[in-house]
Amino acid sequence: FEWDGNQSIAISTMQDLFGMKAGATADGAKIDRGLNAIKTAYLNQGYLDQKLEIKTDFDDSSSTANYHITVNEGQLFRMGEVVIANAPESEQKRIRGRWELAQGSVFNFSYVREFMKKMSEDRSGRMPRVNLQLDRTKQTADVIFTF
């Protein structure tokens, strides 16, 4: 495995997340899971536009596959605003009272996922749809709750 372009996540960490060791049998499903784990790690560090490009070089004579993975981290996004649309005041208070990811902090995609999971387990109110609105000029991500 060769890695190129990564700066915010160390090669050793990406290799661990990738889950394939040199000399192991190539497993397409495991490679896909590994790439998804790396993408998630970048999303959790605020890199919402990151892209991974994988090139494979097969060597039939030695029955090996070499992987070159180029990472384009994109820009770092920070938490923008929490926008709550079409909700009564009680729902707005419920969401704002529980939301802890501060405006200006590095955006963490897992935080949004966990927040929505807790909201669904709570069952004390209606469940909103959630969307992200990226402002690439300001490098912020607004979280939009819609009822």
Q: Which of 129, 84, 132 is nearest to 107 (CA)?
A: 132
What secondary structure does DSSP assign to 105-120, as a single string? SBP-HHHHHHHHHHHH
Tens place of pLDDT for every residue, the chain, 147 residues? 899 999 999 999 998 998 877 778 878 898 899 999 999 999 999 999 999 999 999 888 988 888 899 999 999 999 999 999 999 999 999 999 999 999 999 999 999 999 999 998 887 777 899 999 999 999 999 999 998
Dist CA 68 CA 70 (whole Å): 7
Distance (Å, whole) CA 26 – CA 31 = 8
Q: What is the pTM of this model?
A: 0.87
